[in-house]
């Protein structure tokens, strides 16, 4: 995948130390700095996240000639980030300097230049992106209101990208937000969205989000709300993505960068905005538990997929899931050798509500039900396979013969069952509002597949 990132460069300077005494000339603490670190921020941090996921990514921005521009260039070289930086001799390097005491921020001060880049520099950037790059799969605009993403540049970039069918993903700021008109994707946070929609007459979040989508004519919009989750408007269709609460919030710096980088990476890989948004939500929740900008790795992806898998002994997770305000749909089975009838059942189940939870028989449970030669695929194979489907939100592994205890704790709104059952025969029918039966598909079963394989041999 070829991704271009255009936006403001920021150098994060973190000083770690202790307070030794008060200054004699003023009643303020004196910090004894023990260690100083330099980190990439802004568009450079987005680029670093994608670089860490083995993407073919290039950073395009503007840099000055002050002493900190050299530090920033050194950091880009150290991280092996491909970049094309245009020189503006008058521009200061944006610096965010923080002083930490016991891993808590005590002081922050900024040095920055927020003047818009000149039209000449903007034209040079446009020329480089569209006429010197052979192929671009996506463009990320990382706007920190430091002047690189000028209205002139932004409007021209979006127009040319649309002409070429290249999706533009905007991580916005509130200043001059109309410059993002006609973009492919907009990702505001809650505060940014409220400022952008100050003219909207309602306080309802969904209505304000639709107001913003219409006002800038973007195709899709994702509202991030921290631990309260996300709202995705994909072609106008709303999906709520549940938040992931953390008991150990250390630093929210760079969480927006994680969201946009993960989202673009997985959208290009799968073409599925909802799937990409869910992964972005999960990894961003992890990122706030560390100090400074968290950098994503492929291990985060593996952890996300395992996050969807719950064991029946994790009752606290099941009970926590039951408290959601969204409609939960539950279905269950062995899903030993996946086939099209399974997938049609699961897709049908997803349409019955908001969150689809699949109960999955453990290996021991299957052996008791179907004999010692089953399952063909062990529980790790089966659970991971199901977790890879985006329309499945959670997989709960149970060791009992039936999922009655899980249904009792989960409190789903709807039960879906395939096969020749009557509603009063479905396990857990007494615990839910509604039971929906899915018509069995003839001649499609794991047993039939096993029989065919045996006949071949």
> 104 pairs with which residues across the strands?
101
Tokens matching residue 431? 């615990």
Is 403 in a helix, a strand, or coil? coil
Handedness of CA 183, 186, 191, 194 (dihedral sign): positive
DSSP 8-state assignment for residue 327:
P
CB distance 144 to 7 below 8 Å: yes
State how far the alpha carbon of 168 is from the alpha carbons of 184, 221, 268, in Å: 5, 12, 12
Among candidates 13, 265, 355, 46, which has minimal Cα distance to 171? 46
Tokens matching residue 304? 């996300």
Q: Is 257 known to be catalytic?
A: yes
- DSSP assignment of 106-154, as one string? EEEEEE---PPPPHHHHHHHHHHHHHS-S--SEEEEE--SSSSS-HHHH
**Cβ within 8 Å of residue 122, ≥6 positions away:** 150, 152, 153, 156
Q: What angle do CA 67, 71, 77 make, to 5 degrees?
A: 140
Rounded CA-CA distance 387/371 in Å is: 26
Rounded CA-CA distance 184/161 in Å is: 9
Q: What angle do CA 175, 244, 211 make, to 5 degrees?
A: 35
Out of 171, 251, 257, 393, the active site residue is: 257
- Cα 420 vs. chain centroid, distance in angstroms? 40
- DSSP assignment of 25-94, as one string? TSS-EEEEEEEEEEEEEEHHHHHHHHHTTT-EEEEEEEE--SHHHHHHHHHHHHTT--EEEEE-TTPPPE
Alpha helices in 244-376 (DSSP H): 255-270, 273-287, 298-307, 315-322, 340-350, 363-370
Residues acting as catalytic residues: 257
């Amino acid at each position: 995948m070829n991704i271009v990132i255009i936006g403001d460069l920021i150098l994060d300077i973190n000083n770690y130390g202790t307070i030794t005494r008060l200054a004699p000339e003023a009643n303020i603490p004196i910090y004894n700095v023990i260690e100083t670190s330099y980190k990439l921020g802004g568009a450079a941090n987005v680029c670093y996240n994608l670089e860490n996921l083995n993407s073919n990514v290039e950073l395009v921005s503007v840099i000055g000639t002050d002493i900190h521009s050299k530090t920033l260039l050194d950091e880009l070289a150290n991280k092996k980030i491909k970049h094309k930086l245009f020189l503006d001799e008058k521009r200061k390097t944006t610096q965010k300097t923080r002083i930490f005491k016991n891993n808590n921020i005590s002081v922050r001060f900024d040095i920055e230049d927020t003047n818009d880049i000149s039209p000449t520099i903007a034209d040079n950037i446009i020329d480089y992106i569209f006429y010197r790059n052979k192929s671009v799969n996506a463009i990320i605009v990382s706007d920190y209101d430091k002047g690189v993403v000028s209205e002139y540049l932004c409007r021209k970039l979006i127009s040319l990208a649309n002409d070429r069918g290249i999706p533009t993903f905007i991580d916005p700021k509130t200043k001059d937000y109309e410059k993002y008109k006609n973009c492919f994707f907009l990702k505001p946070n809650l505060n940014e969205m409220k400022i952008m929609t100050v003219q909207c007459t309602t306080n309802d979040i969904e209505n304000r989000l639709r107001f913003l989508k219409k006002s800038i004519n973007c195709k899709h919009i994702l509202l991030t709300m921290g631990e309260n989750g996300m709202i995705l408007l994909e072609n106008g269709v709303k999906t709520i993505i549940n938040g992931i609460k953390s008991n150990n919030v250390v630093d929210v710096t760079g969480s927006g960068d994680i969201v946009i980088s993960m989202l673009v990476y997985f959208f290009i890989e799968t073409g599925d905005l909802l799937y990409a948004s869910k992964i972005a939500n999960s990894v961003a929740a992890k990122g706030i538990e560390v100090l400074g900008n968290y950098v994503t790795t492929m291990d985060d992806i593996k952890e996300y997929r395992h996050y969807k898998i719950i064991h029946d002994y994790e009752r606290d997770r099941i009970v926590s899931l039951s408290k959601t305000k969204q409609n939960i749909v539950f279905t269950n089975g062995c899903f030993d050798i996946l086939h099209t009838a399974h997938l049609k059942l699961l897709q049908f189940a997803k349409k019955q509500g908001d969150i689809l939870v699949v109960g999955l028989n453990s290996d021991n449970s299957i052996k008791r039900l179907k004999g010692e030669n089953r399952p063909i695929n062990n529980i790790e194979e089966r659970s991971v396979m199901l977790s890879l489907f985006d329309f499945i939100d959670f997989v709960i592994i149970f060791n009992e013969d039936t999922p009655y205890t899980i249904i009792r704790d989960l409190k789903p709104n709807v039960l879906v069952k395939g096969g020749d059952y009557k509603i009063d025969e479905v396990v857990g029918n007494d615990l839910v509002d509604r039971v929906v039966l899915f018509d069995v598909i003839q001649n499609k079963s794991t047993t039939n597949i096993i029989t065919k394989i045996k006949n071949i041999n």
